[in-house]
Amino acid sequence: MTVVGYSEEHIKTLEWREHIRLRPGMYIGKLGDGSSQDDGIYVLLKEVMDNAIDEYMMGFGRKIDVEITGREVRVRDYGRGIPLGKVTEAVSRMNTGAKYDSKAFKKSVGLNGVGVKAVNALSSKFIIRSIRDGQIKVSEFAHGILVKDYPVKPTDEENGVEVIFRPDEEMFGNYFYISEYVDSMLRNYVYLNSGLVVNFNGTRFFSKNGLADLLNENLSKEGLYPIIHLKGEDIEVAFTHGMGYGEDYYSFVNGQNTTQGGTHLLAFKEAIVKTIREFYKKDYEPADIRSSIIAAISVKIEEPIFESQTKTKLGSKDMGPGGPSVRNFILEFIKKQLDDYLHKNPETARILLKKIQDSEKERKAISSIQKLARERAKKVSLHNKKLRDCRIHFNSNDPRKLDTTIFITEGDSASGSITKSRDVETQAVFSLRGKPLNTFGLSKKIVYENEEFNLLQAALNIEDGIENLRYNNVVIATDADVDGMHIRLLMLTFFLQFFPDLVRKGHVYILQTPLFRVRNKKETRYCYTPEEKYRAIAELGPNPEITRFKGLGEISPEEFRHFIGKDMRLEPVRMKRYDAVNGYLEFFMGKNTPERQDFIIDNLRIEEDILEEEKIL
């Protein structure tokens, strides 16, 4: 037995910046490289934006300027500015801030004065400029260490705060900002703060109608009925129904996008079901009432409690000290306002009822198939040769749950290579048998009738929605050829048709594997594009060995470890609009059209050009 020493020298006290850099996950969630919407570089931007938004919510400043140039971010608000004598401390000393004083920031997003300090500690460059009443104070940091502390000077600039930062490559690696993700974040801010102007790299974001604008922006065509938009003190709600499957929610607390929901979203879902049951005087199933709903809810709570520093899930049970419970507040509001709305708008009430009844009919039609399929999946799961599971799951409390991944691959050799090289703690493998069925235009009962799709659904644990999803990352891993692309499209069709929430919530990815291996006696390079190959050939010297990987099965397990480890390249599958899926599926998987034929021909030409270049080399 090994004896481990434990004495005074083993007890360490870390400075604030050291602790943030040592345990960044406690402050910003995962680090990431910017390919996912919840990666750390976006959380850093959000933390700075939250402070600017808090100023606006308190009635100071009507606009916010945001610029991202390469990896450098600039945020300028026009609020009151930080008191000049406390600028340096406000961004570099824990437990320092104005938000402990509820009179100054009664319904603020930032609560603990931690967020902007995390930005400081995790940035290779961080500059804070505060302007108040004709004077300016500037402090400059690197990795959280003060490098320049400028004296207060006179200025003619408008009041407010400007923060300039560059996330540290040492922490985040070879990261990049995706403008679409930033756009989405900033649009949400203006939807929640009607009248606020946010300028981002020359684009102006502004909302007049709040959450109704948010839904319209995310609908490529009108819902089944006009958006129901309800507003009250400290609450705003908007929703309609579409034609697809799943449920899509946007939830907010004090302007914070709570992507993982919380007590307010649970209360809203309950309130919708309860009110509609009472209005139509029938106990419809919750799944039938909420199927294809797209909804947004925003509440303002005094001293909210979030379940983590990243504030993605509300834990508060009450609206504030001495106030009603979140659940009762939302239930009472929805019950009165929605009931009144449906009585005043009988045509909307008629359309909504028909939608619920149609969902009920479909559910009952597949119930017998569903029961048999469940039993089959349960039996097979005991000795399921298609699934190589991992030990940790996304719906667990393990801190590594964000890394949980399932690779969906085709063929014994490819699945075998991934299975042998994976991390058994967090990575699972599901093996397809040839090309899956094209599900476009089919009803949901096909999910239960098709054994492969039924087993995949059971493996993901998404039969009743994605709340209990077993893997955070659902990765389609196919060969980089025409057959591999076809399988990829068939899988995306299945997800988009029946489980669009997986895509909307950013869980689906495409695995990028290298096309080439270039090596000499001293070094091996893996290249994902022809350009990377040419660069490797030039840098490794004359006559290197060049291998073109034709399929995943050709890559040995030893090599595969390089591609599914910490440097794994994942391309996120993104869907900007709520129901744009129908248009995409019609184009790619519907009946042949001249437009699609042209698309295929153009892309085949690109593939032929690449092959021709290889012959020349």
| 126-151 residue pLDDT tens | 999 999 999 999 999 999 999 999 99
Secondary structure (3-state) at 66: strand
pLDDT of residue 616: 43
Worst-scoring range by mean pLDDT, 240-254, 494-508, 567-581? Answer: 567-581
pLDDT of residue 2: 56
Is the CB of residue 110 less than 8 Å from the CB of residue 62? Answer: no
Q: 276-287 pLDDT, tens per residue?
A: 999 999 999 998
pLDDT of residue 186: 94
Domain 367-513+549-616, CATH number (from 3.40.50.720, 1.10.468.10, 3.40.50.670, 3.40.1160.10): 3.40.50.670
Residue with tokens 């979203």: 265
Q: Is the pLDDT of residue 210 over 50?
A: yes
* pLDDT averaged over every residue in the chain: 83
Is the CB of residue 258 less than 8 Å from the CB of residue 189? Answer: no
Position 615 confidence tier, pLDDT thresholds 50, 70, 90: very low
Distance CA 311, CA 305 (A): 9
118: nearest Cα among 259, 30, 19: 19
Provide the pairing of β-strand 197-200 with 203-206: antiparallel
Residue with tokens 């490819």: 414
Is the CB of residue 220 less than 8 Å from the CB of residue 234? Answer: no
Tell which wins on pLDDT, 128 or 10.
128
In percent, the amount of the chain with pLDDT more than 90 equals: 37
Phi-psi region of 152 (alpha: psi -120 to 50; beta: other; left: phi over 0): beta
Length of the chain: 617
Mean pLDDT of the 607-615 span: 47
pLDDT of residue 7: 60
pLDDT of residue 599: 67
Worst-scoring range by mean pLDDT, 93-97, 187-191, 336-340, 428-432? Answer: 93-97
CB atoms within 10 A of CB 418: 26
Q: Which residues contact 217 (CB under 8 A, 6 or more apart)?
A: 187, 191, 577
Q: Is the pLDDT of residue 594 over 50?
A: yes
Q: 393-426 pLDDT, tens per residue?
A: 998 888 889 899 999 998 777 888 899 999 999 9
pLDDT of residue 100: 41
pLDDT of residue 269: 94
pLDDT of residue 509: 93
Q: Is 190 exposed, middle or buried (0-12, 13-18, 19+ CB in 10 A)?
A: buried
pLDDT of residue 76: 96
Is the CB of residue 91 less than 8 Å from the CB of residue 117? Answer: yes
pLDDT of residue 609: 47
The residues with which 127 forms a beta bridge, in sequence order, are: 140, 164
Domain 16-182+196-201, CATH number (from 3.40.630.30, 3.30.565.10, 1.10.10.10, 3.10.20.30): 3.30.565.10
pLDDT of residue 107: 56
In the chain, the N- to C-terminal Cα span, in Å, equals 59
Distance CA 412, CA 389 (A): 16
Task: Provide the CATH number for the domain formed by 211-364 in this structure.
Answer: 3.30.230.10
CA 487 to chain centre: 25
Distance CA 78, CA 472 (A): 39
Domain locations in the chain? 16-182+196-201, 211-364, 367-513+549-616
Distance CA 37, CA 188 (A): 14
Q: Is 95 exposed, middle or buried (0-12, 13-18, 19+ CB in 10 A)?
A: exposed
pLDDT of residue 4: 58
Angle, helices 346-365 vs 263-280, to 10°: value is 100
Cα-flanking dihedrals φ and ψ of residue 91, to 5°? Answer: -110, 5
Distance CA 107, CA 54 (A): 8
Most trustworthy range by pLDDT among 29-33, 312-316, 608-612: 29-33
Is the CB of residue 530 less than 8 Å from the CB of residue 613? Answer: yes
In percent, the amount of the chain with pLDDT more than 70 equals: 84
Distance CA 582, CA 377 (A): 29
Report H helices in 385-468.
412-421, 445-449, 451-460
Distance CA 239, CA 227 (A): 6
Tell which wins on pLDDT, 38 or 239.
239
Distance CA 159, CA 548 (A): 59
Q: 526-561 pLDDT, tens per residue?
A: 888 888 899 999 998 888 999 888 778 778 888 888
Q: Is the pLDDT of residue 17 over 90?
A: no
Distance CA 506, CA 528 (A): 23
pLDDT of residue 3: 56
Q: CB-side exposure of 76: number of CA atoms within 13 Å? A: 12
Worst-scoring range by mean pLDDT, 191-205, 300-314, 367-381? Answer: 367-381
Structure tokens at 44: 């850093």
Distance CA 355, CA 374 (A): 26
Most trustworthy range by pLDDT among 51-60, 304-313, 370-379: 51-60
Provide the pairing of β-strand 508-512 with 160-167: unpaired
Structure tokens at 211: 């959450």
Provide the pairing of β-strand 160-167 with 197-200: unpaired
Position 111 confidence tier, pLDDT thresholds 50, 70, 90: very low
Q: Is the pLDDT of residue 500 over 70?
A: yes
pLDDT of residue 54: 85
Q: CB-side exposure of 609: number of CA atoms within 13 Å? A: 7
Structure tokens at 280: 């139509």
Distance CA 188, CA 51 (A): 15
pLDDT of residue 368: 64
pLDDT of residue 109: 53
Structure tokens at 441: 């235009």
Radius of gyration of the chain (CA): 27
